[in-house]
Copies of this chain bind each other. A is one copy, B any other.
Amino acid sequence: MRRISADPDSPAGLGSAAAPTTPLNNRAPLDRRKILAAAVEVIDEDGLKQFTMRKLGMKLGVEAMAIYRYVHGREDLLNGIVEHVIDDLYGDPDVHMSTGNWQDYLVRVSHGVRRIALAHPQVFPLIATRPPAAPWVRPPLRSLRWMESFLDTLKTCGFSDAAAVAAYRSFSSFLLGHLLLEVSAQGADTSPIEQQDPEDPPPSDMSSYPLLQRLESELSQDHSAEEFEDSLETLLERLDRLNPRQAGEGPAPSTHVN
């Protein structure tokens, strides 16, 4: 798998230490890809909310304004980050190897996207909510290349036009729903403490929610991986019914990664 965050060598906790400490390349003249990679790194470290042009400049050992040579403002940068992360996955040969089986393909794509979601939980909400270029370009597979590849695979396996499009829609909504909830659960404790005004029910008083109290341990357990596989398998079965060319190849393959 290709690395998404460049610079695994960069120091772990840099804090407000002034030194950029990227010795070899800090004379190389900056470049769009370097900027995007650094941006992903900064977001992974400090969260989207803290992500700032000035902080990104600091990470790159440069004043913030230098970035504007390579990027058309903050909005363009954000779009670029999303593109960068998702196109990086597109290059992954593990995902794109072709077996002529659409189920295999969807499983590989699913696991690939899940991998980047879990690797960059802070970036994923961005992938999920950026306004799409066109209404039919859906997150999280937000590029024309991805769509073409997706539809091509299904068409090759005998799907009708309508069925391929329907599959694309079901698939993206499945991926988005699952992964967004999974990553948002991950960063849950970071949420700011909310103070209520005294007229409202007291903050974390569970006494009015007996069922929640009783089921708290059930609710706290994390089965996201299994749930993901189960949902994916259900989806594949459902999509299979859309495909008129029933090759009689038996049930959908296990979705579990080897």
Contact = CB atoms under 8 A, between A and B. Distances in A.
Interface of A: 32, 70, 72, 75-76, 79, 125, 128-139, 144-145, 147-148, 151-152, 155, 161-162, 164-166, 168-170, 172-178, 180-181, 184-192, 194-195, 197, 206, 208-212, 214-216, 218-220, 222, 227, 231, 234, 238
Contacts of A125: 129
B227 A190 contact: no
Contact of A188 (B134, B148, B172, B208): B134
A214 to B, nearest CB: 8
Given A76-B195, A133-B191, A178-B173, A147 B209 contact: yes
Q: Is the interface of A mostly helix, strand, loop or mixed?
A: helix
Contacts of A192: 75-76, 79
B151 A186 contact: no
Contacts of A147: 209, 212
Contacts of A218: 161-162, 165
A234 B191 CA distance: 34
> How many copies of this chain does the complex contain?
2
B176 A138 contact: no
Contacts of A238: 234
B144 A188 contact: no
Contact of A211 (B148, B169, B212, B219): B148
B132 A188 contact: yes
Given A148-B209, A155-B211, A173-B181, A194 B164 contact: no
- Of the listed residues A79, A130, A131, A155, the one surrounded by the most CB atoms of chain B closer than 10 A to its CB is A131
A215 B177 contact: no
Contact of A187 (B70, B131, B162, B164): B131
